[in-house]
Chains A and B, each alone.
Chain A
Amino acid sequence: RKEVEQDPGPFNVPEGATVAFNCTYSNSASQSFFWYRQDCRKEPKLLMSVYSSGNEDGRFTAQLNRASQYISLLIRDSKLSDSATYLCVVHRDDKIIFGKGTRLHILP
């Protein structure tokens, strides 16, 4: 089993819809969690950190479920510009692991 797993997608979602995807991690010692966004042929960029209590930034909501060992990202009122690959990142003291990413296509 991979340490960090994401559904590769693609998720094809109409503009304006709400979409959510999860990222599961296998090591309970994982401490910090992040979501990154990567556009085609560009470098990954931080979208948001994931806090234990959950956090929101505009249309984006990130949540952490330590009991079930997953993090989630919810995008409301999706825009065409949200089309990208979303990477989850899990940090432990001794390791940083990037998921392979979930591809999201927002359809007009």
Chain B
Amino acid sequence: GAGVSQSPSNKVTEKGKDVELRCDPISGHTALYWYRQSLGQGLEFLIYFQGNSAPDKSGLPSDRFSAERTGGSVSTLTIQRTQQEDSAVYLCASSLVYSGNTIYFGEGSWLTVV
């Protein structure tokens, strides 16, 4: 498809398990972003990539969170030893380059930690 694609759409996991969320950006977009949003709350910035580099990791909540991007395309957000407070929708987005361009969002990965 032409849009940002995320998988899985929904994930229920047990507390303490690791989860991996995947994002496939729009073809040709060099900037990729991860946000988190809890129900009824605003967007929480996690990390962004320009190419394969992550200039700003300041939003990652703890060292249990990590992200990588390879080949300037697909990105993976990994949450280790999940906690209940990690339950949220994780939104990936992409844009042509960082800043100044329209950011397009995927439909999100809904994570529930039980």
Contacts and interface: CB of A to CB of B under 8 A. Distances in A.
A34 B105 contact: no
Interface string B16-37: 0000000000000000010100
A45 B91 CA distance: 12
Interface of A: 31-32, 34, 42-46, 49, 87, 89, 91-96, 98-101
Nearest to B106: A43
B26 to A, nearest CB: 13
A99 to B, nearest CB: 7
Nearest to A93: B99
A101 B42 CA distance: 7
A31 B100 contact: yes
B77 to A, nearest CB: 16
A31 B41 CA distance: 26
Contact of A96 (B41, B42, B103, B104): B103
B43 A98 contact: yes
Contacts of B42: 87, 98-101
A101 B33 CA distance: 19
A19 to B, nearest CB: 20
Considering residues B41, B45, B56, B99, which has the most beta carbons from chain A within 10 angstroms of its beta carbon?
B99
